Amino acid sequence: MSLMTFAYLIGGLVLLVAGAEVLVRGAAELAGRFGIPPLIIGLTIVAFGTSAPETAVSVQASLSGSGDIAVGNVIGSNIANILLILGLCAAVAPLLVSRQLIRLDVPVMIGAGLLCYALTWNGRISRLDGLLLLACLIGYTVFLIVASLREKAVPVADEFAAEFGSAGSDKPFAWVLQLLLILLGLGLLVGGSNLLIEGAVALARALGLSELIIGLTVVAVGTSLPELATSLLAVLRGERDIAVGNVIGSCIFNLLLVLGAGAVVAGEGLSISPNARSFDFPIMLTVFVACLPIFFSGYCIRRWEGLLFFAYYVAYTLYLVMFATGLGAIHLLRDAMLWFAFPLTAITLLVIFLRAWQRQR
């Protein structure tokens, strides 16, 4: 394994994060210049921006014939979003959960996950399936925009205005600079995704790992860096509800946009490995469903729940590594998770949900 492999990986990640930031900044300022409300910018451009690295990587992987990286990137990023990012953020400070997330966004996330899982039963997400996912994304985005315009949430709009306001838009030819920022951001995303894919494939071959494992771990965590940075920054600023909304919105965009775009650009769609269908997809769906009782209990993610999420992510990553390297202890870890950790967590979540339901009554 050469130093160039690590240089490609690190360089690709840096370019992806920088490209997403520049793209969001330029697009938000340009939208603000034309009078688009800041809240709409937050719900659309910013949401897309945090998923831009996953989109760029998955599209590039699909075009280069590395479909397993594209699929593993989406599944791994979503698992990392919930278990790693929310776990770390809740460990820093308990996270508030808005009622809209419980009533709308989390059910949409679960529904999108079930739809994607159903589309994989024939072992492939076809171009037609990809178009269906993109159509669902357009419908979800339009619904958000219409609902937000009706509610006219002034505090939220002001919050996005402070972060993505059109400062300096009154300057002559400011739109030229904003357009250049968008083009620069897109260029950085394309260049970063190319480097990351080359480094990931080289790393998989050097370590004897499958591209799916690399996509579920290295690529997934790397492309989730924008969500991690955004959520941790929101927690440190005291905007804890934004941290949760950013993660849930990113998971929805990953499923509908990233998988959809990857399937559309791939010649014969995205092939889904049997291991992804039988293990990784169910794990992702289980993590999604586990959000409901935890979020519903007082509309808050407590520190111990965050630490539980983080512990599960460590166990999941350890399982992937042991599975890839063929270590014999993997059976002990799998049995411990299957017969002890999962049932205990299920009982705990059920008790939390029943207590919260009784308090609501």
pLDDT at 137: 93
The half-sphere exposure of 248 on its side-chain side, counting CA atoms within 13 A, is: 26
Bridge-partner residues for 267, per DSSP? Answer: 269
In order, the DSSP letters of 32-65 are: HHTT--HHHHIIIIIHHHHHHHHHHHHHHHHHTT
Instruction: Identify the sign of the CA torsion 181, 182, 185, 187.
Output: negative
* Residue 324 clears pLDDT 80, i.e. is over it: no
Residues present in the chain in total:
361
Would you tell me which CATH number, out of the four given (1.20.58.1690, 1.20.1420.30, 1.10.940.10, 3.40.50.1820), belongs to the domain 3-360?
Answer: 1.20.1420.30
322: left (phi over 0), alpha (psi -120 to 50) or beta: alpha
Instruction: Measure Cα distances from 305 to 90, 121, 183, 247 in Å.
Output: 8, 33, 41, 16
Bridge-partner residues for 301, per DSSP? Answer: 95
Q: Where are the domains of the chain?
A: 3-360
Instruction: Measure Cα distances from 155 to 10, 33, 162, 338 in Å.
Output: 38, 20, 11, 45
Q: Give pTM, 2 decimals.
A: 0.77
In tens, the pLDDT along 270-291 reads 888 888 888 889 889 988 988 8
Q: Which residues of 129-159 are buried (b: 16+ CB within 10 A; e: fewer)?
A: bbebbbebbeebbeebeeebeeeeeeebbeb
What is the token pair recorded at 240? 């804890």
Max CA-CA distance within the chain? 67
In tens, the pLDDT along 182-239 reads 788 778 877 777 787 778 778 777 777 777 888 888 788 777 777 777 677 767 767 6
For residue 245, the one-letter residue type is G
The C-alpha atoms of residue 220 and residue 120 are separated, in whole angstroms, by 20
- Give the model's confidence band at 139: pLDDT under 50 very low, under 70 low, under 90 confident, else very high: very high
In tens, the pLDDT along 99-138 reads 777 888 889 999 999 999 999 988 889 999 999 999 999 9
199-207, long-range: CB within 8 Å, 24+ apart, which pairs? 199/5, 199/6, 199/7, 199/8, 199/9, 199/11, 199/12, 200/9, 200/69, 201/66, 201/69, 202/1, 202/2, 202/4, 202/5, 202/8, 203/1, 203/5, 203/9, 206/1, 206/5, 207/1, 207/324
Give the ranges where the chain is alpha helix by DSSP (H).
3-33, 38-41, 47-63, 67-79, 87-92, 99-100, 106-119, 127-151, 154-164, 174-207, 211-214, 220-223, 225-236, 240-253, 259-265, 274-275, 281-296, 303-325, 330-336, 342-360
In tens, the pLDDT along 145-181 reads 777 666 654 454 444 455 544 444 556 667 788 778 8
- Give the model's confidence band at 79: pLDDT under 50 very low, under 70 low, under 90 confident, else very high: very high
Cα angle 323, 324, 325 (rounded to 5 degrees) comes to 95
Would you say 181 and 25 are in contact if contact means Cβ atoms under 8 Å apart? Answer: yes
What is the token pair recorded at 5? 């492999």
Neighbouring CB atoms inside 10 A of 344's CB total 10
